Structure formats: structure tokens, C-alpha cells
Amino acid sequence: MTDFAAVLLDRDGDGRTEARFGRLVEADLMDGNVTLAVRASAVNFKDGLAVTGRLPVVRRWPMVPGVDVAATVTGSDDPRWQPGDEVILTGWGIGETHLGGWSEKMRVSGDWLVRRPATLSPVEAMALGTAGLTVAEGLDRLHRLGLTPADGPVVVTGAAGGVGSLAVMLLAQEGWSVTAVTGRPEETERLQRLGATEVIGREPFAGAVKPLARERWAAALDTVGSAMLAHVLSMLKPGGVAIACGNAAGMDLPASVAPFILRGVSLVGVDSVRIPTARREEIWNRLADSVDRHRLAAMTRVIGLPDAIDAARRIVDGGIAGRTVVAVRDL
């Protein structure tokens, strides 16, 4: 039986997560009606949590991480998909309850797949990945709530990371004046190239959270959570909207109701795991048409599958900026 390469996660006798580069066989694949040859994946913060075990992301052992996939269909019992089709898969529990994309082969449900736009290469699709899907959905929430760049500037927290960098780029493309918040001053020039009008450190968000602080932004896209998001909420202008899509600093929210009842602020969450398929297709096609490919390439680096474990460990320690694509096969 032919084997294939994969990154494998398991637990030792003390319940600690162990990650290794290994081999699987067809019999190891999980249930599904479509078989994929994975071409590329990405390193996301959630993958870092899975590899390090810092949060209980993984729900099934052993596991293959990788919540983003660009692949070619090699076999299908689903009439919607034929061998040779180029597809994207994000969410749906891959890398958590279903073997993920850091593997040369996968077997999945055809319901989870979206056709990869022909104008997006596998690397570009994975440079966007779940991060791009999340930001695009967040931007749509701002649109639906009636906010535009004319309402004032927008703040992006955790701006040097994958989601944050894409948020800076896509918001700037739409004409927003973007304040990028990062604890890494060495990333200032890169964030400015992505379109940030202003790059600031974390100092304005230190200390106890005030019920209300000086009004600064009309909108926010927060990837950090915890006290950072609470500070941001206190600084939004009346009618402002904060999009919450990350928890790099924790799951808690030590906030006051004051911004909501005295300034009419809204807090909107984005869950990229269970976005309906039709909605995903719409977002992917829009990103393929609108994304600035030069800026996307400038914020992306490509690594091989054996290097993914180290990258996953580094991302949770804040050691990776922008987006990291994993070339599972030769691209």
C-alpha cells in the first residue's frame, strides 16, 4: 500500500501534544466521498495552538493539522466533483475533528469544497485562506451595518499577524484610513506598504480598561481579544462597530456595557468555520477579482511541509509576520 507524507499530532502518556513529520496510508484517511491530492496549506494561529497544545483545539487523536487546503480532486463519488477539479477547503472542523491539510492526501465531504477561482494560484489561495475569508466576511458585516470610510478611521489589532495583515491590506484597498496596532515596531514599514495610514504600539491599550475612553475610530477589526478588545470598544465613536475574529490574548472580555448603551457601539463576531458554501463561493470569487496580488505576495512566504511544525510553534509566540503558505507538493 502506497504511503504519503503528513504532519502527525498525538499525545504522550502525560497528555502532552507531540508533533512529528511522518507517513500515512490510504486506510488512515477518514470518511468522505471525495479524495484530494493536497497541493498547499497554510500556517494559522489555530494550527499553532493545535501543534503546541496550548488550547484544546484538537478533538480527535491522532490528528493532522492544517485548517486551510488547496487541492486537486483525484477521486469522487459526489457528482458535483470530478478528478482534476481544483478546490479550496477551509473550516468544517479539518485539523480539529477531521484530518487536516498538512498531508499529501485527504478524504472529505464534497459539501465542504469550493471551486478554486482560476485566477487564483494555490499559493495565492492559501495566502488568503481562512484569514482572507474571515476578513472579507468582517468587511461585509461593516457594509451591512452601513459603515463606510467616510465615517472615520478603522483600527486593526494584531496587525502584524496573518489575519491582521490581510485586514490592513483589504481595508486600505476599500479606501479606509487604517490604524495598525502591533507590538512589533520592526513591522512598521511592511504595514505601511500594505496600506496602513498609521502604525502604533500597544501602549494606548495598557492598564485598566476605562468604561469610556477618548473617541478615536469608527470601526475596528480585532484579532487579539481579551483586554485589547475591551480597550478598543471604549475608544469607538458613537455608532461604531468592532469585528471580533481572534483570541490571541485570551478568550475573556473584561469590558463595560458603557460603550454599548452610551455610544451605541456594536460588537460583531465572525465565525469562519461554518460559513455556508454558497457564501464562501461568493467571497472567494470576490477576493480573486479584487485582491492586490503584489501586496499579497509581499506578505507571503512559502515553506515546505517538514518546516510546518517549527512555523506553527513560532506563530503562537508571535514569531511570524504576514502569511505562511505550506507547499505540500511541488508548486
Q: What is the pLDDT of residues 176-195, one digit of tens each?
A: 999 999 999 999 999 999 99
Give buried/exposed letters for 50-83 (b at 16+ CB in 10 A, else e): bbbbeeebbeeebbbbbbbbbbbbeebeeeebee
pLDDT at 274: 83
DSSP letter (8 states) at residue 208: S
pLDDT at 330: 80
The 8-class DSSP code of residue 94 comes to B
What is the second-level CATH architecture of the domain 3-116+299-327? Answer: Alpha-Beta Complex (3.90)
Instruction: Provide the pLDDT confidence category of residue 272 given band limits of 50, 70 and 90.
Output: confident
Residues contacting 287, CB < 8 A, separation 6+: 120, 128, 132, 136
Distant-in-sequence, close-in-space partners of 211: CB < 8 Å, separation ≥ 6:
234, 256, 258, 259
Containing H/E element for 245?
none
Give CA separation, 172 vs 167, 191, 192, 275, 292, in Å.
8, 11, 10, 24, 11
- CATH 3.90.180.10 positions along the chain are 3-116+299-327
Range list for CATH 3.40.50.720 in the chain: 130-269
**35: nearest Cα among 119, 105, 124, 111:** 105
For 215-231, what is the mean pLDDT?
97
For residue range 50-99, what is the model confidence (pLDDT) as tens digits?
999 998 899 999 999 999 999 999 999 999 999 999 999 999 999 999 99
pLDDT of residue 55: 85
Percent of the chain having pLDDT more than 90? 93
Q: What is the pLDDT of residues 236-261, one digit of tens each?
A: 999 999 999 998 898 999 999 999 99
Tell me: domain 130-269, CATH 3.40.50.720, correct?
yes
Residue 116: the pLDDT is 98
Q: pLDDT digits over 296-319, tens only?
A: 999 999 999 999 999 999 999 989
Cα atoms in the Cβ-side hemisphere of radius 13 Å centred on 242: 28
The band of 1, judged by pLDDT with boundaries at 50, 70 and 90, is: low
pLDDT tens digits, 102-134: 999 999 999 999 999 999 999 999 999 999 999
Mean pLDDT, the chain, rounded, equals: 96
